[in-house]
Amino acid sequence: MNVVIPTEDTHMQHIIEKVRHGERLTLEDGVYLYQSDDLLTIGQLANEVAMRKNGKKVYFIENMSLYFTNVCEAHCAFCNFRKDEGEEGSYTLSGQQMIEYVEQHFHPGVREFHIVGGHNPNVPFQYYVDSLKALKDRFPEVTLKAYTAAEIDFFSRISGLTYREVLQELMKAGLQSLTGGGAEILSDHYRKKMRVEKADVTQYLQVHRTAHELGLRTHTTMLYGSIETKEDRIRHLMHIRELQDETNGFLVFIPLSMQPINPRAGIRRRNSAFEDLKTIAISRLMLDNFQHIKAYFINIGVQLTQVALTMGASDAHGTIVKEKISHAAGALTPEGITREDLIWLIKGAGRIPVERDTFYNEIKVYE
């Protein structure tokens, strides 16, 4: 058991008592934690919760990130991945072209394809179905974790099908889980201001609700560090906590640290390490009905990821091979990482590395 540093702060003491007695934190509690500079107490408390849920185990997966197209009809203010049709650097790959790319990088340990991309209105919904089918036919043993809730909403619009019908078609083609992207900040005011020209708050949550009703387990994210308030962040966490109460369909929550558009942007244009660690810890404390909080090394770096494993995170993501979206927006981190480095990173934090599949079934424990 950790000993949380004694504090004279009565609100913090109240939060400590609530967490230790399994009582749910409120909006006011979450905002208070963000306002506090007592990172050690917040981190230790989050660590207690993570240890209670997962012991010393920290999970990772051998996966590959794939992007069929970067052509997108949306113009979100924070995105540097998207292109217009015909613009230099734009692409839309066929299933066969993607298979050729995968075969260049594939090895038998890969268990998951993580597939996201632009909302390309120049191809029909069937293109997105066929893309999955081509991969599933060629690599039947690899789990297809594909598309964001925003992409599902987009597919619904271009096809005239309901969310349920879209998901059923994709499941027939091999879809096994949804990615967590497209959430950004679940606030309609934020989405309007940041030109998030895709699924709104209600639509994002409804896609995941529908997926859960169909038996899919899904992932969910929060992109923090731009114009949103601390209250916006806590309300975001409460939105997904409420849906998890209803469906228990989320596997993991992934806080995503906003990257500046310019890779040469200075330190002041990035979230601080303090802010990144605090967000991971607060997420662990607020999301009492989630099994896992992920430390995403692509956005926060491998060394901060290691520290995060002692502040509430129980997942170190995966090997990825070649990440593109955060790097298009200025991430300074590696585009991928080896299995050996992930194991070293987790062990270095005094934790037990566990290789998993998409659904957190344990493949191998590295004692």
Q: Where are the domains of the chain?
A: 56-365
Q: Is the pLDDT of residue 3 over 70?
A: no
pLDDT of residue 191: 95
> Residues 117-129: what's their mean pLDDT?
96
What residue has token string 């995105």?
79
Among candidates 184, 224, 190, which has minimal Cα distance to 204? 184
- Calculate the average pLDDT of the chain: 92
What residue has token string 């975001």?
236
pLDDT of residue 355: 96
Among candidates 21, 47, 108, which has minimal Cα distance to 293? 47
3.90.110.10, 3.10.180.10, 3.20.20.70, 3.30.465.10: CATH of 56-365 = 3.20.20.70
pLDDT of residue 320: 65
What residue has token string 């896992």?
292
pLDDT of residue 263: 63
- The confidence band for 283, taking pLDDT boundaries of 50, 70 and 90, is very high
**Beta partners for 256?**
223
pLDDT of residue 69: 95
- Residue 11 structure tokens: 């609100």
Note the pLDDT tens digit of each residue in 229-255.
999 999 999 999 999 999 999 999 999
Note the pLDDT tens digit of each residue in 159-174.
999 999 999 999 999 9
Note the pLDDT tens digit of each residue in 321-351.
666 666 666 666 666 688 888 899 999 999 9
- The confidence band for 5, taking pLDDT boundaries of 50, 70 and 90, is low
Buried b / exposed e over 39-62, threshold 16 CB at 10 Å, is: bebbbbbbbbbbbebbeebbbbbb
Q: Is the pLDDT of residue 264 over 70?
A: no
pLDDT of residue 2: 55
Is 107 exposed, middle or buried, given 0-12, 13-18 or 19+ CB atoms closer than 10 A?
Answer: exposed
- The confidence band for 39, taking pLDDT boundaries of 50, 70 and 90, is very high
Q: Is the pLDDT of residue 37 over 60?
A: yes
Query: What percent of the chain shows pLDDT beyond 70?
Result: 91
Note the pLDDT tens digit of each residue in 56-104.
999 999 999 999 999 999 999 888 889 999 999 999 999 999 999 999 9
Cα(46)–Cα(54) distance, integer angstroms: 12
The reported pTM is: 0.93
Contact 286, 15 (CB under 8 A): no
pLDDT of residue 107: 87
For 153, other C-beta atoms within 10 Å of its C-beta total: 20
pLDDT of residue 80: 84
Contact 154, 119 (CB under 8 A): yes
Phi, psi for residue 262 in degrees, rounded to 5: -95, 120
- Residue 284 structure tokens: 């662990």
- The confidence band for 261, taking pLDDT boundaries of 50, 70 and 90, is low
Note the pLDDT tens digit of each residue in 179-231.
999 999 999 999 999 999 899 999 999 999 999 999 999 999 999 999 999 99
pLDDT of residue 267: 66
Sign of torsion over alpha carbons 305, 306, 309, 315: positive
